[in-house]
Structure 1
Amino acid sequence: MKTDKSKGFAWIVLITVMINLIGCGPKRESYSVESQGNIQSWQDIQAHANKASLTTFMTGVLTVPTSGMLNRSDPKTDIFTEDSIDVEVYAHWIRHSEKGDFLIDTGLDHRFGESARGSQKGFVAPFIIEGGMQEIGQDILSQLEENQVNVKGVFLTHVHSDHSAGIPALPEGTPIMLGKGASLHQYPFALYNDHFDNVETLYELDFSQAVDIQPLGKMLDLFGDGSVWAISTPGHTEGHVSYLVNSFEGWVLLTGDASHTRWGFENGVIPGWSEDDSEAEKSLRGLIQFSQQNPDIRVVFGHER
């Protein structure tokens, strides 16, 4: 009995230490958004929107479980017979005429060209990232330098490692924005990375200040001119954010991992890796309905375009 109690106490100590380690991280402040104006509908947004250039960088390919990309409890997914799937990993570059250069997600840094899991560590990592490939020059820093991009800030869809792995390649002090309450998913020994080690402050997008535009829901005008909008799409993770950009080639909806793939989007199947299935389904329904109402808008999915 004494031995059992000792073991129990040891587990309590270990769990407490892990929780404390997880709690350590950058401080958080609210991201200051421009005045949202008198926007009440999608038509209002279209009528007053400025434009920004949008370029997508493909920073590598990862092999991941199909069950992570698609909720295999949905019988429609029975057509997928392979346990693994190769997916592209993106960073989206926005160039705004007044605000400068911003990224939506950061893709992968050069370490994913050196090993399949790059900067992702921990005994769970091989079950999340089964393999990968990155060609020379595909890493985010190489593409930023080639295109002479001076990053003023990063808007994250969420903080899974394939979306944040490029942060260490950016100049220290680059502002990082993310959804309010988003977890950094740092689990000592199990699954962790160094993506936020040199980040002092994270700036949270607070959708309590947002306009409500159906069927998308809560939206923030990030630059105050209608060119780039953040959309609250929780479910895959808490605080997940999708984005809508009025590019010079037309409007583009960046779903982030609210929908990993085109097939998932077209068939209404949420990601298998979802923290809240109900919220994920609600968010995906809103994006699908918006796309159906506006078929001229290009949709770029979390890992497919």
Structure 2
Amino acid sequence: METKVHVWHTGSVRIDQSLAFQEKTLHPMPYSGWLRGRKKKRWVPVSVYLIEHPKGDVLVDTGWHEDIRTHQRRHLGLLSHSMFQGDLPLGQSVGERLREQGKDLNSLHTVVLTHMHADHVSGLKHVEKARRIIVSEEEWKAAHKEIGYRKSMWEGVAVDPLPLEVIPYGPFCKGIDLFNDGTVYLVHTPGHSRGQWSVLVQTVKGWVLLASDVGYAVKSWEEGHLPGLMVDHEAAVASLDWVKTFSKREDCYAVLANHDADVREGRLV
């Protein structure tokens, strides 16, 4: 069985353009969207990925929960809802996507949370019966100490925080070899958040790098556009530089940003 990578859009999110691409402005927090005009706002996809691997299916991130359709403000919280809003058409939640593909929600080998911002963990309770749900220890600690997280989205869910190990890839050569066989790496690429992972998948066509929110589009690493929200500028630069370098490798088949409006749904490889 060959490893396959599927791209799904679990709805979209309306953000200020400066959240995706950092701006120089007198505004103290332009990424918040506060006191910024409608022309500054953009709808971008909220992507999740299904990796069909010989050793088991891996889901990367969980997109929006179906509560976004009916109780959005309560689900996101007032602060987050004032900065961004979600949209989730029928059939696009991660649970609906998996059922459409004939997948048993309880048989997922692993759910990987690249980081714990709302648009990446909102749908977690749709897949809470997966065999294993993992996140980096750094991200887990940050999610319980820092603002910008919505703890109710994972409350009561068995999440396993993992310590970083030495791996051959990434700006700091830290992460996790998911199957201990060099086919899927969870790469420590912090900056946007404390413990953000990118996911590196070996396929018959070469490496596929799922870069999470290291950058919001291809132009992020090609032109050096950092995201507007960062907790560590130096780490964010190192992570973006590594993605750019990796994207130029001959054995790199594709690099995807989670919210890139130019990325289409479907089987990538």
Scaled by the length of structure 1, the TM-score of the pair is 0.72
- Does the aligned pair in 1 maintain the 2:136–2:197 contact within 8 Å? yes
Aligned to 1:62: 13
Q: CA RMSD in A?
A: 2.6
Count of residues paired in the alignment: 244
**C-alpha distance after superposition, 1:221-262 (max 9, x if no partner):** 210222211111011110111011123454211000111222
Aligned to 1:199: 157
Measured in 2, the distance between the counterparts of 1:91 and 1:65 equals 21
**C-alpha distance after superposition, 1:104-159 (max 9, x if no partner):** 111112122335557211x3123321x33221101111001111223222111100
Change over 3 Å in CA distance of 1:180–1:210 after alignment to 2:
same
Measured in 1, the distance between the counterparts of 2:43 and 2:144 equals 22
Matching residue within 163, 173, 176 for 1:220:
176
Measured in 1, the distance between the counterparts of 2:158 and 2:171 equals 36
Describe how 1:68-87 pairs up with structure 2 within 5 A.
68-73=19-24, 82-87=39-44
Matching residue within 82, 86, 103 for 1:127:
82
Matching residue within 178, 184, 192 for 2:143:
184
Aligned to 2:124: 167
Measured in 1, the distance between the counterparts of 2:219 and 2:181 equals 33
Q: CA deviation at 1:173?
A: 6.4
Gaps of 5+ in 1: 1-49, 75-80
3-state DSSP of counterpart to 1:297: strand
- Does the aligned pair in 1 maintain the 2:171–2:238 contact within 8 Å? no
Gaps of 5+ in 2: 26-37, 264-269
**C-alpha distance after superposition, 1:254-280 (max 9, x if no partner):** 000111222222211111011111110
The answer to whether the aligner puts 1:139 opposite 2:93 as a matched pair is yes
Aligned to 1:4: none
Q: CA deviation at 1:184?
A: 2.2
Aligned to 2:247: 291
- Does the aligned pair in 1 maintain the 2:135–2:159 contact within 8 Å? no
Measured in 2, the distance between the counterparts of 1:114 and 1:261 equals 30
Aligned to 1:239: 195
**C-alpha distance after superposition, 1:190-212 (max 9, x if no partner):** 863522111244231x22x2224
Change over 3 Å in CA distance of 1:51–1:244 after alignment to 2:
farther
Measured in 1, the distance between the counterparts of 2:200 and 2:73 equals 30
Measured in 2, the distance between the counterparts of 1:191 and 1:238 equals 12
Change over 3 Å in CA distance of 1:140–1:214 after alignment to 2:
closer
Percent sequence identity over aligned pairs: 26
Scaled by the length of structure 2, the TM-score of the pair is 0.81
Measured in 2, the distance between the counterparts of 1:157 and 1:275 equals 15
Bigger Cα Rg: 1
Runs (4+) of structure 1 moved beyond 6 Å? none
Measured in 1, the distance between the counterparts of 2:113 and 2:149 equals 19
The answer to whether the aligner puts 1:108 opposite 2:64 as a matched pair is yes
3-state DSSP of counterpart to 2:193: coil
